[in-house]
Structure 1
Amino acid sequence: MPPIILAGLVLSLASWGMLAAAAYLLWSWYQGSWVMDAYDVSHHVREHWRLWTALALLAWSCLGRLVLTPLLTKADEDPTRAERGEHQMIASPTGSNLYVEVHGPADAPTVILTHGWGLDSTIWYYLRRHLSQRFRVIVWDLPGLGRSRAASGSTVDLSHFATDLKALLSLTNGKPAILVGHSIGGMTILTLVRDHPEVLTDQVAGLVLVNTTYINPLKTMVLSPLALALRWPVLEPVFRLAIWLQPLAWLGAWQSYLSGSAHMANRIGFASQVTRSQLEQTTLLATRNPPAASARGNLAMFRWDAHDAIVKASVPCLILAGDKDIVTKQEASEHIAGQAPFASLRVIDDANHMGFLERSEAYNEEIARFCELNLVTRAGRGVQEPVPTLA
């Protein structure tokens, strides 16, 4: 999520600067200064404002999130939860071990949810809960994130993720499934369509692309020219340093989390409806995932292109966009919908990149209706050919 990454870099530097200022003030307070009184007697004097200012900065560095989170969000009526359930580990042909959970009735049609980058499958709490009343819902962690283990750093990219997703289709009891992906999850689905179009013949009943793009995300975000200009001199070196210096990068990430700087950065991925639990979970997941894996995934996205992949999609597609999405602008979803043979585009009001959380009711309703139409109604009528959906 490039805008959040850029904001995170700036705020992280500010957070480190706060610590540096606190250290300097403590040192200068301890050192003090020598002054001469009227009797030519020297006295060691410490300026106590330096001590109190340093302690205040240290306190903010450790507890700032407790102050900032309520200021940045609304109170929760239905808190999201990072719940885990019974799981299995699936060996992928890529060599990665995939953490997978299955929810809902065992004999129901299957929906597979693929989360966005920097997160894990627990982010699907609202949608998983909603769909599992009617469908068999499979959630999984992308390799390198959550509890999935990548075979190596070289397997943390879109082509390998698509192969991992293809492996999960073996869990659908031989019936076509709906694939739902948010952000890089949607990019993974597009890569699957590009690289393995044969799965659309009888393994996939439909695609749902949530706030996603079709090309290097630096090209479809706000301030795209600036982001592209910063790619080589700033972003690429920073991500490579995060890989080489992961312990230091992780320390910085946790310091930003405690100070609230990370919360401020992640807040820009939401519109006006975000609640405390939603911002907290998003920020916590982004913080505790390994910086090296996150960096490799970001670098892989910069080299990714599937601009015409959706043309191969011979199944119905639902494209969901947020009207306030600054991470993946609405135009990206319009481009995908314009190329897909059987697509519907829905733009959700007052929704940013994390709209599926803050506007969960609207997103859940659209996705459930699409799944009902393409997994239940069409199957019950024996319809085989794709039809335009949700016209």
Structure 2
Amino acid sequence: MFILPLPFLLSTIASIASLALLAGGIWMVWGWFTGALIAVAWLWSGIASIAWSLFGRMIVLAFYPRGTDSPPTTHADAGQMLDAPDGSRLHIEFDGPADGPVLVLTHGWALDSDAWYSVRRELAQTYRLVLWDLPGLGRSSQPADRRYSIERLAEDLRTVIAQTGNAPVTLVGHSIGGMMMLTLARLHPDLLRTKINGMVLMDTTHTWPLKTVIGGGLMRLLRWPVIEPLLLLTIVLSPLIRLSNFMSYMNGTSHIVNRLTSLSGSVTREQLDFASRYNVKDTPSVIAKGLRAVLRWDETATPGAIRIPVRAITGDVDKLTKPEAGIEISRLAPNADFVRLAPAGHNGLIEQGPRYAEAIRQFMRRTTLAAS
């Protein structure tokens, strides 16, 4: 999940190593059978390399406990398509009672609306949920011109909000979803007076993201000489990168990277595999374009201008948007509070979905009492 340079760099290294491991294994086996390599150790080394390339994921997952959680393995067929201003076709779904308070759920980059599965299960009993896939992710198509910016994504969110009718809505955004909400608040402050009655910002930031990521100093140093060229190369070589990402998933290195960068030690086997499948599902060029947009984003001044209720939620071991970012948002926004959940990483909604849902539910109760 490449929302910031840290997992992107590590995943790139893992993908290259995965292709090298498979190619090396094939070369050793071929060399032994053709006589170019004599020692039988070459044969066994080649077989081991190929076997790890194809089945290493099973060994990695064996180190994690089984859970009672059941992440989805396929997309649901429900939903409808919505035409967005940028020319994309957005997949949108509705769940929960039609007369319930409305929650618009916006997922993080490199995920899709399926990532809300356990939050959805908890909240759909009471609230009217609106879930959608960001352009180029899940079941939504890319913008017509294949260009990305947080401002354009915010306009997509505005289009989704318009589908909720006259009812007031509470926005819930994870990672880039929270960034989009802040940008929407700046671009369309009238919505905060007429339509949006609250915001829940989950594992996100308000300032230039390289200021609130673990190792931000190193990431800033590497941005122009390493990260930006790699992102452009990923866009150009997207089909090859997709193959290498698939091999990284099969041999388990993508699982290791996701665990180290985006999840906590409490993650279960099923949750880790679910999160890592996005490395296969996502189109690399789309992810790279979104990351380039994130690196050009900053809404430092925006939280101070938001008068509606705000809740910042963060995982205690979030490495991609450190908890300090959520604390600062709650300090800057006049009517905000902060909730830290443990143990949870950047994608805590996958590993601690019921607890994130409860934090959202408590926020809804607080805002309802305040309104009355």
| TM-score, with length taken from structure 1 | 0.90
Of 332, 336, 340, the match for 2:333:
340
- What amino acid is the match of 2:253? S
Task: Identify if the C-alpha distance between structure 1 residues 337 and 154 changes in structure 2 by more than 3 Å, giving closer, same or farther.
Answer: farther
Please give the residue correspondences for 1:250-261 in structure 2 after superposition, counting only pairs within 5 Å: 250-261=242-253
Correspondence list, 1:51-62, <5 A: 51-62=43-54
2:361 is the alignment partner of 1:358: no
State the Cα RMSD in Å: 1.6
What amino acid maps onto 2:93 in structure 1? E
The residue that corresponds to 2:210 in the other structure is 218
Given residue 7 of structure 2, which amino acid in structure 1 is its aligned partner? I
What secondary structure is seen at the aligned counterpart in 2 of 1:319? Answer: strand
Contact map agreement 1:104 1:137 (CA 8 A) in 2: yes
1:24-77: CA deviation from partner (whole Å, max 9, x where unpaired): 3224323436xxxxxxxxxxx832221121011011111111111121x22111
| 1:186 counterpart = 2:189 | no
Q: Aligned match of 1:157 in 128, 138, 149? A: 149
- Asked whether the 8 Å contact 2:249–2:279 carries over to 1, the reply is no
Give the partner amino acid of 1:245: L
- State which of 343, 362, 366 in structure 2 corresponds to 1:369: 362
Aligned partner letter, 1:119: L
Q: Does 1:17 align with 2:20?
A: yes
1:15 partner letter: S
Given that residues 115 and 349 in structure 2 are in contact (C-alpha distance below 8 angstroms), is that contact kept between their aligned partners in structure 1? no
Point out where structure 1 has 5 or more consecutive residues left out of the alignment.
34-44, 382-391
Distance 2:112 2:352 in 1: 19
Q: Which amino acid aligns with 1:76?
A: G
Q: Does 1:29 align with 2:32?
A: yes
**CA deviation string 1:334-355 (max 9, x = no partner):** 1211111110011112221112
User: Could you give the per-residue CA deviations for residues 346-385 of structure 1, whole angstroms, max 9, x where no partner exists?
Assistant: 11122211122222232111101112333x4455x3xxxx
Q: What does 1:128-139 correspond to in 2, within 5 Å?
A: 128-139=120-131
Number of aligned residue pairs: 367
State the Cα distance separating 1:291 from its structure 2 match. Answer: 0.6
Contact 1:32 1:47 in 2 (8 A): no
Structure 2: which amino acid aligns with 1:125? Y
1:226-260 deviations in Å (ceiling 9; x for gaps): 11111112111111111111111111111111111
Could you tell me which residue of structure 2 aligns to residue 248 of structure 1? 240
C-alpha distance in structure 1 between counterparts of 2:134 and 2:167, whole Å: 23
Q: Which of 54, 71, 74 matches 1:80?
A: 71
Give the equivalent residue in structure 1 for 2:258. 266
Amino acid paired to 1:139:
L
Decide whether the 8 Å contact of 1:194 with 1:310 is kept in 2. Answer: no
Distance in structure 1 (CA, Å) of the matches to 2:293 and 2:145: 11
Whether 1:282 aligns to 2:275 is: yes
Q: Distance in 2 between matches of 1:378 and 1:171?
A: 26
Task: Find the residue that maps to 1:118 and give its secondary structure.
Answer: coil
Task: Please state how far the C-alpha of 1:141 moved relative to its aligned partner.
Answer: 0.3
Q: In the alignment, is the contact (CA less than 8 A) between 1:29 and 1:51 conserved in 2?
A: yes
Would you say the 8 A contact 2:171–2:199 is kept in 1? yes
Query: What stretches of structure 2 of length at least 5 have no aligned partner?
Result: none
Question: What is the alpha-carbon distance in structure 2 between the residues aligned to residue 132 and residue 377 of structure 1?
Answer: 21
2:112 to 88, 102, 120: 120
Whose radius of gyration is greater, 1 or 2? 1
| Structure-1 residue corresponding to 2:38 | 46
- Are the aligned partners of 1:109 and 1:135 in contact in 2 as well (CA < 8 Å)? yes
Q: Decide which of 67, 83, 91 is 1:91's aligned counterpart.
A: 83
Shift of 1:223: 0.9
Name the CA distance, whole Å, in 1 between partners of 2:147 and 2:206: 20
The answer to whether the 8 Å contact 2:24/2:46 transfers is yes
**Contact 2:235–2:285 (CA under 8 A) maintained in structure 1:** yes
SS in 1 for 2:126: coil
Mapped contact 2:228–2:292 kept (Cα < 8 A): yes
After TM superposition, the structure 1 stretch with the greater mean CA deviation from structure 2, 360-369 or 151-160, is 151-160
Higher relative contact order (CA 8 A, sep 6+): 2
1:197 paired to 2:189: yes
More deviation in 184-193 or 47-56?
A: 47-56
Q: Equivalent pairs: percent with the same residue?
A: 37
Equivalent position of 1:384 in the other structure: none
- The whole-number CA distance in structure 2 between the counterparts of 1:218 and 1:179 is 25
Identify the range of structure 1 (144-153 vs 285-294) with the bigger mean alpha-carbon deviation. 144-153
Match of 1:208 in 2: 200
Q: What's the CA shift string for 1:281-301, capped at 9, x where partnerless?
A: 111123211111000000111
Residue 296 of structure 1 is matched in structure 2 by 289
Contact 2:16 2:244 in 1 (8 A): no
Q: Pick the aligned partner of 1:311 from 297, 304, 310.
A: 304
Residue type matched to 1:308 in 2?
Answer: A
Cα distance, 1:105 vs structure 2: 0.7
